[in-house]
Amino acid sequence: MKCYDTEKIRNIAIAGHNGSGKTMLAESILYKAGASERLGRTADGTTVCDYDSEEIKRKISINTSLAVCEYNDIKINLIDTPGLFDFAGEMIEGIKASDNVMIAVSAKSGVKVGTQKAYDEAIKQGKSKMFVVTKIDDKDANFFNTLTQLKTVFGPTVCPVIVPVIKDSQIISYVNLIEMKAYEYDANGNAVEIEMPTAEISEKMDYRLDGLIGAISEAVAETSEELMEKFFEGEAFTQKELIDGIHDGMNRGIITPVLCTSALTLAGIDMLLKECELLVPSPDEVYPTEAFISKNEIKEINCSKDDPLSAFVFKTVADPFVGKMSYIKIMSGVLNANTEVVNSTTGYPEKIGKLYSLCGKKQIEVSSAVAGDIVVATKINAKTSDSITSADRKIEFGEMQFPLPCYSMAVYSASQGDEAKISAGIQRLLEEDKTLSYLPNEDTKEQILSGLGEQHLEIAGAKLKGKFGVEIQLKVPKIAYKETIRKKVKVEGKHKKQSGGHGQYGHVWIEFEPCISDTLIFEEKVFGGAVPKNYFPAVQKGLEESIKKGVLAGCPVVGLKAILLDGSYHPVDSSEMAFKTAASIAYKEGMRQADPVLLEPFSELRVIIPDDNTGDVMGELNKRRGRVIGMEPVSHGVTMIQAEVPDREMHDFAMYLRQTTRGMGSFTLNFVRYEHLPSNLLSEVIASVSTD
C-alpha cells in the first residue's frame, strides 16, 4: 500500500448501539471499495472486522478492529467498535483514533442508549459525527420515524443528506439531497440514475423533499454569514456550497449529516463512500490536539507531516503468536519503520521495527506513515496512552479516560499449579484492556478480577484459555467480615502443665475493652513484678496471633485493646511459650464475655442516573440496606445519588443498574468503614464463612 498524504486520509470510527449493524456496515464499505473479495456476514462469522474466535462464536463485536480501504485515491481507516456496554473501553479507544464518528442507527429499532453514548463520547472527544441509518431494507424499518427521533434527541444539527423513496412500504430508490439526484439499485448494489420522484411515484414525496431540502439549506446557512444572507434572500445553494457548508459544519460540530444504507443489498454504500470523501474532514483539517510540554504547559499540535514526529498509542493487543501489537495514531511528522524514537511517557527509547496497516487480521506492511495515519507496530514496550516522539520533541498527549471497573469476581485456578500462568496471562490482558483490574484482597486472600459486567469477565476468562492456555473459575468474592467486642471485661488466663522434667506455667490477668483501631492495642500495668518484663512481649505476641480469628465466625478481630494487669510466674517452669498460651486462653474467654459482634464493610456509593430512574434506584438501595445521604443534579435530566451501602448487598448492583437505566447509569463504590452486622443475618453469615 502506498503512503498517502495527510489530506488524502480519512479516519472513521463506526460506533452505536449493539445490534445496529456496525460490523456489517464496515463489511459492505470494505467490499464496495474492493478491500475484500466477498461480502461476509456476521451471522456466518465471515466478516473482516469480527475475526476473533470469541467474536465468531458469540456473533458480536468484542474488540475494536482496524480495516483500511482505498476509494478515489483516498485512504479510509475504518475503526469498528463494539456496541456492548461491557466493552465501552474499546469504543473510547476507537473514537480517540478517529477524526469522525459514524454512528450506526437501525431503521428497525431507532435511537437507543448506545446511540446516545456514542454521540456523547464523540462530543466529549471533540470529533465530528454523522448518522448512518442501517437495515433500511428490513420489512419493519421506518427511516422517517428514525430521522424524526434523531432530530428530537440530538436537535437541529441533524441534517438529512441521503433519503429513501418509499412506495407501498418498499424502497424503490434513494435521493441524494446534495446532488438532487435519485438512484435505483440492482441486486448487486450497482446504482443507476433515474428521474427525481414525484407525487405520482410516492405519496407526499414532493412535500417531504421540500421539507428535507429546506432543512439541509437551513443547516448549511448556519456555517457562514455569506450563506446565511443567500438563504434569507431565497436563493438556492449550489452543489459546491452545500458540500463545503456541510464539510465545514461537520468539522465545527454544528452539522450532523444523516445517510441511509442497506449493508445486505449494498444500496447506498457507494454514496456513503462518496460522502466520506467529500464531507468527512481530513486529519489536517480538524482542530489541533493539545499536548503537555510539562505539567503546567500545554501546546497545540497541528497535524502536519513537516513537523517533528509525535504519535499516540491508542490500543494494545496481546497476541500470543505475533507478540504485543501497538496501534499508533501519527499526530505529526512521519513515523518510519526500523527507526529509534522516544517514549516520552516513560522517557525510554523505543526501537520501531516493521509497521503495518491492518484490514481485520490481514497485515499489510508499510515503510512509513505520515501525520494523520494509523499503523500498527509490534513488540515495542509502549503501552496504551503512551506518547511516542522524536528525540527533539518530547511531549505527552495525556491518558485516555476509561470507565472504572464496577463488577468483580474472585479468580480460582481450574487446575492446580496454573497460578503463575494465570497471573502472567491476566497481566497481558490488563495491557490491552484498561477497563479490567486484577488486585489481591488482603483480608480474604482472594485475587479479584474486576470489569464492566458479567460478560466482560466471562470473555476475559475465555481469552485466557484461548490465548494463553490457562483455565480459570470465577466465583462470587468473599466478604471481608471482622469481629469486635462491645463491653469491657477482665479475665484470667492460666496455662499449667506438668510433665517429665520442666513443666509449663504461665498466668495472666488481662482486661479487654473496645477501642478504635484496626490493630491490637497492648498495654501493661503490672505492679510488683507479678509478671516479669521479659514475658511482656510473649503475652503481646500471643494476643496478636489470637486476634487473627474471632470466636463467632473465625474472622479477624479489630477494635480491641488489651491491658496486662496481673499474673504470676514460676521460676523454673515459666517460659515465653507458656505465657503466649496463657494470653491465648485469656483472649478466648475474654472475647466470649465481652459481647462479641460481627462487623461488615460499608462503602460510599455515588450513582449517576437519569432523573426518571431516581425513584426505582432509591427503592432498590433501601432493599439492599443502603442509606441515601443526598441527591444533586449533575446535568440536564441526570441526577447523582449519594448513599452508604453494605458491600454484602452490592455484588450484582451493576447488573441491576444497567437493566433499570438501559445502560445510562454509572456508579463508583469506595470503602468507608465497618459497621455492626444486623443480628438477623448473624447465623447466615456465620454459616457462610465457616463453609468458606
Looking at residue 521, which CATH number applies to its domain?
3.30.230.10
Q: Is the pLDDT of residue 227 over 70?
A: yes
Q: Which amino acid is at 370?
A: V
| 103 has pLDDT over 80 | yes
Q: Do residues 343 and 312 make contact, with C-beta atoms less than 8 angstroms apart? A: no
Same structural domain for residues 419 and 379?
no
540 pLDDT more than 90: yes
| CA–CA separation, 62 and 280 (whole Å) | 26
pLDDT band at residue 249 using 50, 70 and 90 as cut-offs: very high
**Are 62 and 207 found together in one domain?**
yes
Give the mean pLDDT of 525-539: 90
Position 206 scores a pLDDT of: 61
* pLDDT tens readout for residues 474-518: 999 999 999 999 999 999 999 998 776 678 999 999 999 999 999
pLDDT band at 134 (very low <50, low <70, confident <90, very high): very high
User: What CATH number is associated with residue 328?
Assistant: 2.40.30.10
User: Same structural domain for residues 110 and 243?
Assistant: yes
| pLDDT tops 70 at residue 199 | no
Share of the chain above pLDDT 70, in %: 98
| Domain identity same for 629 and 686 | yes
Residues 35 and 150 in one domain: yes
> What is the CATH classification number for the domain harbouring 434?
3.30.70.870
Nearest CA to 556 out of 497, 603, 596 is that of 596
Choose one of 326, 360, 389: the last residue of a domain. 389
Do 241 and 185 sit in the same domain of this protein?
yes
Please, are residues 250 and 256 in contact by the beta-carbon 8 Å criterion? yes
Q: In the chain, pLDDT over 90 holds for what percent of residues?
A: 81
Mean pLDDT of 617-629: 95
How does the average pLDDT of the chain come out, rounded?
Answer: 92
What phi and psi, each to the nearest 5 degrees, are found at residue 164?
-85, 155
* Structural domain contains residue 239: yes
CATH code of 603's domain: 3.30.70.240
In a domain, 401, yes or no: no
Asked if the model's pLDDT at residue 203 lies above 60, the reply is no
Position 394 confidence tier, pLDDT thresholds 50, 70, 90: confident
| Together in a domain, 571 and 517 | yes
What is the per-residue pLDDT across 330-372, written as a single tens digit (0 to 9) for each?
999 999 999 999 999 999 999 999 999 999 999 999 999 999 9
Distances in Å between the Cα of 306 and the Cα atoms of 4, 5, 75, 662 are 14, 11, 20, 47
Q: What is the pLDDT of residues 260-283, one digit of tens each?
A: 999 999 999 999 999 999 999 999
Number of helices (H) and strands (E), helices first, in the chain?
16, 36
* Residue 436 and residue 492 share a domain: no
Residue 48 lies in a domain: yes
- State which of 475, 501, 534 marks the end of a domain: 475
Provide φ and ψ at 577, rounded to 5°: -65, -40
| pLDDT for position 128 | 96
CA dihedral 416, 417, 419, 422 (to 10 degrees): -90
- Please name which of 587, 647, 651, 169 lies closest in space to residue 453, comparing C-alpha atoms: 651
The pLDDT tens digits for 152-187 are 999 989 999 999 988 877 888 999 999 999 999 998
Residue 561 lies in a domain: yes
Residue 295 in domain: no
The answer to whether 370 and 294 have CB atoms below 8 angstroms apart is no
Count of the separate structural domains present in the chain: 5
Is the pLDDT at 692 greater than 60? The verdict is: yes
Contact 67/34 with Cβ under 8 angstroms? no
pLDDT of residue 589: 95
Mean pLDDT of 89-109: 96
Whether residue 691 is predicted with pLDDT greater than 80 in this model: the reply is: no
Q: Which structural domain range is residue 311 located in?
A: 301-389
Mark whether 457 and 501 lie in a shared domain: no
Please check whether residues 163 and 217 belong to one and the same domain. Answer: yes
Average pLDDT of the residues in 618-647:
94
Q: Are residue 31 and residue 127 in the same domain, yes or no?
A: yes
* Assigned domain for 166 exists: yes
The CATH number of whichever domain residue 229 belongs to comes to 3.40.50.300
pLDDT in tens, 546-583: 999 999 999 999 999 999 999 999 888 889 999 999 99
pTM above 0.85, yes or no: yes
Please check whether residue 288 lies inside any domain of the structure.
Answer: no
How many other CB atoms sit within 10 Å of the CB of residue 554? 14
Q: What is the pLDDT of residues 458-469, one digit of tens each?
A: 999 999 998 888
Please say which residue of 544, 565, 594 terminates a domain: 594
Question: Could you tell me if residue 503 is inside a domain?
Answer: yes
Q: What's the per-residue H, E or C state across 34-62?
A: CCCCCCCCCCCCCCCCCCCHHHHHHCCCC
Could you tell me if 548 and 584 lie in one domain?
Answer: yes
Bigger pLDDT: 185 vs 203 = 185
